[in-house]
Amino acid sequence: MKKLESENGYALLVVLLVVVLSLGFSATFLKGSLNHATQERTVDTSNQSVAAAEMGVLYYTSSFEKELELELLDIQKEINERLDVLKQCVGCDFESEIRVLNQNKIDEYTTLVLKKVEDLNHEKLEEDDDDYYKRNASVDDRMAYTVESAEAEMAADKKRIKIVIKLRGIAEQGQANSESILSVVFQVAIPESFLTKSTQLIYDDIYKNPPAISCTDFLSTKKYEEEGVEPFYECSLGADEKLAELLTKIKGYPHNLAPKDFMVYTDNYLENVCDPNGNANKTETSNCNSKDFEGISVVVFGNEETVTKNMNGLENVKIYINGQLTVQNLNNTSNAVLVLKELNVLNNSQNIENSTIVVLGFDDTERLAELIVDNNITLKTNAKFCLDTDRIIENDIVNFGNQITINEGSSLIYYTSQGKTYYQTKQNVMRITNYTDFLSLCNVSVNGSPTANNIDPEFDFEVEY
């Protein structure tokens, strides 16, 4: 038998074995690679669902805030429109009315916020329509977000509402699908008040309707202790109430208040404030002299003309007269402010010291006011005479300049919105073109008209993953 010496067959077996082993290893590596790719795709899809939910957070928080801003603007507009009506209402209890208005709007805003949260849960087309709020977050529609649920909780102090909105992020990539839930938590502030007192005084702030509450009732019910009631405390003198008696009550027990914190309204200046001797009907013979009012402010309303013989020696008072003051002599005032629509001094106005006289004219710019001083007027020391020249007869303005003497340290201040110039040859004259600045320089201090605030929804949010 012939012996085989060729080994070519073994070489083939070795090659085949190597090939089989290589294919086995390759399949193992390929399977691992495919599994790894699938895992990466799953992780990527999960990340995309989280990103989609985050987009939902940004959308719904910014949308919610924007909607509240628009609602607040509407509330502000409605309040200011109502305030304009109330200002013209004769006999209305203005303070009470605006408190009710303010509280109604706070309640309305609170209800509105709660309703918006409730709508996020219930505004579905059908009970099983889970895609009502679904919004696409990518061009290929493979990423989206939707509202899962919304809850609102009022704080115990009723000053804020805690809102929790759960958002579901959805992502698809190949056969991989992923959903992620994020919770966004934010607080919506409920304002304590929509109203503020304007610091920009206007003409209507000075000559407004008197408060309905009497000074006797204001003190007896301690209105000054109520929340939101601040100086100036405003009340009206009744027909039989005397200012002197009121001053005693204000300073005495149990009130212990300062007269300078009060603004008192009266429609009978001579009887209620001056309390003149003799026949009060003969106003031209009645005097209002040497009165120390201890810093209180008095508003005289209801009459076109306040007439008295003499008003000399007035001290520590601010008097706002809703009309013309006609007086024979107006001398020796000290630490006093007189704010009038018109002035007619039949004789003299001398030795005005540490005091201010302001003539503002009428609210109807077609009706120009009189400014008449028959003899000389002298501003002695640290005194001011102020004119709204837009509302005063021009000849009276010019004539007044010929009669006034302004000592060093005193000044004549006039307001104009029409670019006019007066008293160029005189010293210590100031020309003002901003009305609020004019009133401030002339020591006119009253409660500014309430106005609606521009309120920001003011909420920050945090996300819970």
Q: b/e map of 158-176 (b: 16 or more CB within 10 Å)?
A: eebbebebbbbbbbbbeeb
pLDDT attached to residue 137: 64
**Of the ranges 88-97, 159-168, 381-390, which is most confident?**
381-390
58-92 pLDDT, tens digit per residue, is 888 888 888 888 888 899 889 888 888 887 776 67
pTM of the full predicted structure?
Answer: 0.68
Tell whether the torsion through CA atoms of 345, 264, 95 and 157 is positive or negative.
positive
Interstrand relation of 305-310 and 315-321 (parallel, antiparallel or unpaired): unpaired
The answer for residues whose C-beta is within 8 angstroms of residue 391's C-beta and 6 or more apart is 360, 361, 362, 365, 368, 369
Domain ranges of the chain: 45-193, 198-450
Peptide bond into 254 cis (omega under 30): yes
The HSE-up count of residue 5 (CA atoms within 13 Å, CB side) is 1
- Whether 407 contacts 352, CB under 8 Å: no
pLDDT band at 460 (very low <50, low <70, confident <90, very high): low
CA distance 374 to 387: 17
pLDDT digits (tens, 9 = 90+) for 95-110: 778 888 999 999 999 9
Q: What angle do the packed helices 94-122 and 8-87 form, to 10 degrees?
A: 160
Coil, strand or helix: which one is 95?
helix
235-272 pLDDT tens trace: 999 888 889 999 999 999 999 999 999 999 998 888 88
Place 397 in a pLDDT band, splitting at 50, 70 and 90: very high
pLDDT the model gives residue 356:
94
| The pLDDT of residue 5 | 56
